[in-house]
Amino acid sequence: MARFFNLIVLLACLATISVVHAQNPVSADSSSDEIPPHSIPQNAPCVDQPRSLSELSASFQRGRFPQASQISGSWVEIGTVDTSPHTDEPASLNCSGIRRGSKFEFVLIVNGYSIELHAIGASSPQKVRIEPDHQRSIEFPEVDFGGEGTLDNYRCRLTNRRTLACLLGSYRGAEFKKITIKLEQIPNG
């Protein structure tokens, strides 16, 4: 039933996008770098990608502590799930990276255990240090989008699929994939 509901929500979103594009056609003068103001749920998961918080949590539990040499490089968010009581957002999954326009929504540039967080909605990149949590995981703070809420920490493990499965509190999770990206694909880069 939940999958059926998610499918209906996705189809409604796609119909809305089609109507908006029909009403506001993109002119040749528009910049291809224009970032849509709101996130659009995506549904193009990897074949074996977790599609729910329980599946992501299971992948996290089977994961291992990532060594600095294993995580150095660029990582893009390929999945987000939120089962918070205050949201009805469907999971957003994209094997090639969740995007808004030509930009990735969330990019991690990792050098050893130093990390630069780039996210649409953040005023500037945030530089933090990854810390071990002494439970086979690494931990880093959530990007500050300028809101007034308490920030959860990302607790991440390297999965058997060589992704980073991250849990954020009790209701949210994210997954990142290591890929080579271009500078112009990074938000606020």
CA dist 16 → 6, 55, 99, 110 (Å): 15, 30, 18, 37
CATH class of 40-185: mainly beta
pLDDT confidence bin for 26, thresholds 50/70/90: very low
- Break the chain into its structural domains and give their ranges: 40-185
Mean per-residue pLDDT, 111-134? 90
Q: What is the pLDDT of residues 52-100, one digit of tens each?
A: 999 999 999 999 999 999 999 999 999 999 998 888 888 999 999 999 9
